[in-house]
Amino acid sequence: MERSLQSQAFHNKMVKQLADSLISKKFRDVRADHPDFPARPVPIVLETAASFHIPDVTAMGIQMVLFEVETDDTINDGHTRDEWASFASYAHRNRAEFWVVVPKASVADAEERLANLGLHAKVMGL
């Protein structure tokens, strides 16, 4: 998945905003795939997969929560489908939650893509 520099900068801004918000809401062990965070999320590897994916943000609330941030240009990407499928499966098997975080204007697009893929996740507009 190739992001434009502008899209990557917007993605990074959303990741930091999300992680900072989780910290302010007293989530524990907040990890972000962002240069300003010392702790990175642990890669998610499924027994059936030969590869792994790293969520953009993970945190502990009542249960573990995985967050994947998407921009308008990545919601329908093939790589996004693979990540979402891995994270949704992991969340289901481990009693965790999986959230897709998108720009507010893209919430309906993300919900539609999840439904078309038959995947379960909550969608948050940021």
Q: What is the pLDDT of residues 68-124, one digit of tens each?
A: 999 999 999 888 999 999 999 999 999 999 999 999 999 999 999 999 999 999 999
Alpha-carbon dihedral sign for residues 80, 91, 125, 106: positive
- Count of C-beta atoms within a 10 Å radius of residue 37: 17
The predicted structure's pLDDT at residue 85: 93
Residues 6+ apart with CB under 8 A from 4: 73
CA distance 23 to 18: 9
On the question of pLDDT at 126 being above 60, the answer is: yes
Average per-residue pLDDT for the chain: 92
β-bridge pairing 57-60 and 28-32: antiparallel
5-43: per-residue pLDDT in tens?
788 889 999 999 999 999 999 999 999 999 989 899 999
What kind of fold does domain 5-125 have according to CATH?
Answer: Trna Endonuclease; Chain: A, domain 1 (3.40.1350)
Cβ(46)–Cβ(60) below 8 Å? no
Nearest Cα neighbor of 66 from 103, 126, 22 is 22
